[in-house]
């Protein structure tokens, strides 16, 4: 069994893989939480899910939150008696991921690219609905062509609510119509329907620039919310980042 750890701005996700993802642990990315509390929650999860760490053959960690990296790393050093592979610029430079600077490419985006190419063995666009909405383009050799980044849906919603005195935080739901008849419907339309248009435009533009017919894969915790986009996607793979980390680890062995 291998363990893949994805530290994002919203959540820390820990996956346990043995021929398939058998256990998934998720906790909010909280810079105020002490390492002991993370360890306590993980140990409780291990007991509940009957996870046997004695059978772990490798651990790989990706992080886009530097202040949490050392925290989670120290927790797993207490739990696992072995080397923890860190996905950083130095490691990515060895994977021949294309001409993009490996020290600027987010480790999660690199994992998305590797996971997408492993899945389809052809060019692909990965649309990741996370704290940021990202579009990672991969060519027919698995090389990263580049990335587009915009604020994620929750980020946009929170920014609108916090910077306007009379607009509340609202449920992340796609309204049935574009013309809102109250504050909630109006915000849901502008943001949720707006993001549907944003994604469709970006995918069409990226496909035009790539000059190929790439597979379009959605991932991220909010990918399932955007049902009007599901005709655009060849696949919705919530564990794509973890799968990419798993493949990266296998390439190093």
CATH number at residue 206: 3.30.420.40
Confidence class for position 177, pLDDT limits 50, 70, 90: confident
**What per-residue confidence (pLDDT) applies to 129?**
93
Which residues, including other chains, have CB under 8 Å from residue 24's CB and lie 6 or more apart? 13, 14, 15, 16, 239
In angstroms, rounded to a whole number, what is the distance separating the alpha carbons of residues 14 and 6?
Answer: 6
Q: Which residue among 86, 107, 136 closes a domain?
A: 86
Asked if 147 and 198 sit in the same domain, the reply is yes
Q: Does the active-site annotation cover 6? A: no
Residue range of the domain that includes 150: 121-238
pTM: 0.89
Return the residue matching tokens 């339309």. 189
Confidence class for position 60, pLDDT limits 50, 70, 90: very high
Residue 112 domain-assigned (yes or no): no
Asked if 126 and 213 sit in the same domain, the reply is yes
What's the start-to-end Cα distance of the chain, in Å? 14
| Number of domains the chain is built from | 2
Asked if 224 and 134 sit in the same domain, the reply is yes
pLDDT above 60 for 166: no
Closest to 65 in 3D by CA, of 33, 107, 96, 93: 107
Residue 247 domain-assigned (yes or no): no
Residue 251 domain-assigned (yes or no): no
Candidate list 67, 108, 118, 234, residue with the active-site label: 108
**What per-residue confidence (pLDDT) applies to 253?**
72
């Amino acid at each position: 069994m291998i363990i893949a750890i994805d530290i994002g701005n919203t959540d820390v996700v820990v996956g346990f893989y043995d021929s398939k993802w058998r256990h998934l642990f998720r906790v909010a990315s909280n810079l105020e939480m002490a390492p002991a509390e993370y360890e306590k929650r993980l140990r409780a999860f291990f007991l509940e899910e009957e996870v046997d760490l004695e059978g772990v053959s490798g651990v790989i960690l990706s992080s886009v939150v530097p202040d949490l990296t050392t925290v989670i790393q120290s927790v797993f050093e207490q739990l696992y008696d072995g080397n923890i592979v860190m996905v950083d610029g130095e490691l990515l430079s060895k994977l021949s991921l294309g001409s993009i600077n490996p020290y600027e490419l987010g480790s999660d985006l690199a994992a998305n690219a590797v996971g997408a190419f492993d899945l389809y063995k052809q060019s692909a666009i990965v649309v990741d609905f996370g704290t940021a909405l990202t579009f990672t383009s991969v060519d027919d050799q698995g090389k990263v062509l580049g990335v587009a980044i915009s604020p994620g849906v929750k980020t946009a919603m929170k920014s609108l609510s916090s910077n306007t005195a009379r607009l509340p935080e609202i449920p992340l739901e796609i309204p049935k119509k574009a013309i809102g008849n109250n504050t909630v419907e109006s915000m849901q339309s502008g943001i949720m329907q707006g993001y549907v248009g944003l994604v469709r435009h970006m995918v069409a533009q990226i496909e035009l620039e790539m000059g190929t017919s790439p597979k379009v894969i959605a991932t991220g915790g909010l990918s399932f919310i955007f049902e009007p986009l599901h005709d655009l996607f060849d696949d919705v793979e919530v564990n794509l980042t973890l799968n990419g980390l798993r493949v990266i680890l296998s390439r190093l062995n």
